[in-house]
Amino acid sequence: MYHAARRRQPADPVPAPAQATAPARASSRSPASVPEPPTTAPPPALSNADAAYLQWHQSLPYGHIQDNIGTFSAMRLGVPYTVTVTIAGEKAAPLPTTPGTTPSALQVSDKMRVLLTNGVGQANGFTIVDADPVENPKPLAPDGTTQWNWTVTPNRLGNLQLHVEAFVLKDDSDPIGYSYESYDRNVDVKSVTLWGYLTNGLIYVLQHPAATIKYWLPGGGGAAILAALFAWWKKRKAVTKST
């Protein structure tokens, strides 16, 4: 990037003094010129192929995408789960809405690719195995739906993330496609051990003290459990005495 050169003005000549005692007139310079703003290069023009690809993508119709990750209130450590992502074509019937599965609009093409990976910085959070070894990408009919499935096994405790990416493909020669839909889903992973259940229970009590007290008061689920246990113990004690 270059700046425009600034032209320097020559100094005025100093005249001869009119008298020997007259002081010489001070030389003068013209005010400094204001520098021109730097020039910026115009953005590079798109190639014909890129321009055609962009035009194709902008003209794509809209369908819907939906996953079932939100249906898992929590995942258990070491237990495999089936995660699905469903995409519906622009003329397909609306996807069913259930708690944790809210469809969102997206542009669709005749062939689509969907990837499921661990969240950023969580490379070993889940073991993810593609349950559809037949093909990916898959065809998508304008009036149909296509589903992708993975077997996901949590490897760590805590709040982890699964990352979903959807791609539209222009034709069979398109190796990857245009990624236009990308999002993360939070997953709470808990332990299946007794210690894990006790830890999770303690965390719940600390976070929901009012609900916990209500649970153990008469009429609550906890009170019913205690009453059932007491009745079982009393019956067992009576049987023991009779024998």
Sign of CA dihedral 125, 129, 131, 135: positive
Indicate the pairing of strand 138-139 with strand 126-130: unpaired
Give 113's strand partners.
Answer: 167
Q: What is the pLDDT of residue 62?
A: 93
Q: Which H, E and C letters describe the chain, residue by residue?
A: CCCCCCCCCCCCCCCCCCCCCCCCCCCCCCCCCCCCCCCCCCCCCCCHHHHHHHHHHHCCCEEEEEECHHHCCCEECCCCEEEEEEEECCCCCCCCCECCECCEEEECCCEEEEEEEECCCCCCCEEEEECCCCCCCEECCCCCEEEEEEEEEECCCEEEEEEEEEEEECCCCCCCCEEEEEEEEEEEEECCCHHHHHHHHHHHHHHCHHHHHHHHCCCCHHHHHHHHHHHHHHHHHHHHHHC
**Splitting the chain (243 residues) into consecutive groups of 10 residues, what average pLDDT does each group show?**
34 46 46 62 70 83 92 88 94 87 89 89 88 83 95 89 88 65 74 56 66 64 64 71 63
Q: What is the pLDDT of residue 179?
A: 59
Q: What is the pLDDT of residue 20?
A: 45
Q: What is the pLDDT of residue 100?
A: 80
